[in-house]
Amino acid sequence: MIFMDICVGSSCHLTGSHEIVELIQNEVTKNHLEDDVVMSGCFCLGKCNRAGVSVRIGEEIYTGITRDNFREFWDKTVMTAIKNSEM
Ligand code: FES
C-alpha cells in the first residue's frame, strides 16, 4: 500500500491539482487499486513551480505533474511504488 499526498496549495491548485486528483482516482478505480493506494490532499509541499502539481509518495516528492505527463508519472512512478510496497 502506498500513501499519496496531492498538493492542493495555491500554486498547485492553479496548475491543476483537481484534475490530477481526478486522473489518479480514475486509475485507481480502473485498475482496482482501492486497497493499494491511500490518497489525500495536503497543503504546500514547499516545491512549488509553475509547471504542474506536486505529489508526495511516501517520503519522495514529485513535481511538475500535469495532464500531459500524467500517464508517464502513473506508469513509471506510481505503479513502481505500488509494486515495491508489495515486496
Ligand atoms: S503549492 Fe504545491 S508545492 Fe507549493
How would you write the pLDDT of the chain (87 residues) with one tens digit per residue? 999 999 999 999 999 999 999 999 999 999 999 999 999 999 999 999 889 999 999 999 999 999 999 999 999 999 999 999 987
> Up-side HSE of residue 1: CA atoms within 13 Å toward CB?
5
Q: Which of 34, 23, 38 lies closest to 69 in space, CA to CA? A: 23
Tell me what pLDDT residue 47 has.
95
Q: Tell me which DSSP letter residue 35 carries.
A: T
Report the CATH architecture of 2-85: 3-Layer(aba) Sandwich (3.40)
The Cβ of residue 73 has, within 10 Å, a number of other Cβ atoms equal to 20
**Is the CB of 37 within 6 Å of ligand 1?**
no
**Is the CB of 47 within 6 Å of ligand 1?**
yes
Atom of ligand 1 nearest to the CA of 63: 3
**Is the CB of 12 within 6 Å of ligand 1?**
yes
Q: What is the pTM of this model?
A: 0.94
